[in-house]
Amino acid sequence: MGDWEILYYNVPFAGRAEFIRLVFEEAGVSYTEPMKTHEEVRETIMQNGIGGFPVLHPPVLRRGNFHLGQTPVICKYLGEQFGLVPKLEEEKLQAEQVNITIHDFVAEGRLAFHGKHWVGSYHDQKEETQPYIDWFVKERLPKWLKHFEAVLKFNKGGQGFCFGAEVTYVDLALLQCLRGCESSYSKAYESADYCPLLKAFKARMEARPKLAAYYKSERYAKHPQDTNSMM
């Protein structure tokens, strides 16, 4: 079928494609990102289309003539391809539940920084969107983090992974979600003493050999420092 490709904006920060990259990195499977500019992505994917089954927005996974959109769907698919899924059938379904919930959290956390214009730049609406950010930190962030703390704790007291004894694509998604949360809501995350299992989980995942090497490599694009979008 050809090599694995991620079609995404060439931006100097992680973005939604980072969820996909982490699956490849942990699995030790090579991939490329051939797109060079925002304009190329918009023209190729969002205007002219890339052929085959329609996709709406990047990131897009491509291998030969096969294209797949929607980050959580891509990560689940790659998890199945690379053996990064729970062993039990019931847990496979629960993993999909958690995966979707993670991306719901990311979407809501991002939206707080775009309260006036959903797709506009945060820099153009800082003052208007600050009340949304404050509300999210107070009312919503604790609920999300406490939920994921409970998910982690459900499996052997929260000392390992979300499901079973081996890493899955959901653990990688949760890691990226927590890194985005820490980047965008740094003070709130730091003071969140109600999720010690999550913070320990994040540290364990970041220390995994392949991921640690990735974070030190030139392939890694850090979280944005002043765009604040949970990605």
pLDDT digit string (tens) for 131-183?
Answer: 888 999 999 999 999 999 999 999 999 999 999 999 999 999 999 999 999 98
Please name which of 31, 40, 38, 37 lies closest in space to residue 6, comparing C-alpha atoms.
Answer: 31
- Is residue 67 located within the same domain as residue 97? no
- Is residue 111 located within the same domain as residue 188? yes
pLDDT value for 47? 62
**What rounded mean pLDDT belongs to the chain?**
89
pLDDT value for 116? 72
pLDDT value for 137? 93
Higher pLDDT, 39 or 153: 153
- Is residue 142 located within the same domain as residue 108? yes
CATH number at residue 171: 1.20.1050.10
pLDDT for 56 beyond 60? yes
**H or E stretch at 173:** helix 169-184
Q: Looking at residue 174, what DSSP letter applies?
A: H
Residue 215 in any domain: the answer is no
pLDDT for 98 beyond 70? yes
Among the three residues 26, 48, 82, which one is the final residue of a domain in this structure? 82
pLDDT value for 229? 64
Residue 220 in any domain: the answer is no
- Minimum mean pLDDT among 57-66, 87-96, 222-231: which range? 222-231
> pLDDT per residue over 176-226, tens digit each?
999 999 989 999 999 999 999 999 999 999 999 999 999 999 889 765 555
Query: How far apart, in whole angstroms, are the C-alpha atoms of residue 171 and residue 168?
Result: 5
Residue 130 in any domain: the answer is yes
- Is residue 9 located within the same domain as residue 70? yes
Among the three residues 82, 102, 124, which one is the final residue of a domain in this structure? 82
pLDDT value for 17? 93
- Is residue 192 located within the same domain as residue 126? yes
- Is residue 71 located within the same domain as residue 93? no
| pTM score | 0.92
- Is residue 93 located within the same domain as residue 58? no
Say if CB 69 and CB 56 are below 8 A apart. Answer: yes
- List the domain range (segments joined by +) for residue 193: 89-207
Among the three residues 82, 111, 140, which one is the final residue of a domain in this structure? 82
- Is residue 13 located within the same domain as residue 55? yes
pLDDT value for 221? 77
Distances (CA, A) of 101 to 82, 105, 107, 181, 215: 22, 6, 10, 14, 25
> pLDDT per residue over 81-91, tens digit each?
999 999 999 99
Q: How many CA atoms lie within 13 A of 222 on its CB side?
A: 8
- Is residue 123 located within the same domain as residue 153? yes
Q: How many domains does the chain have?
A: 2
pLDDT value for 223? 59
- Is residue 77 located within the same domain as residue 114? no
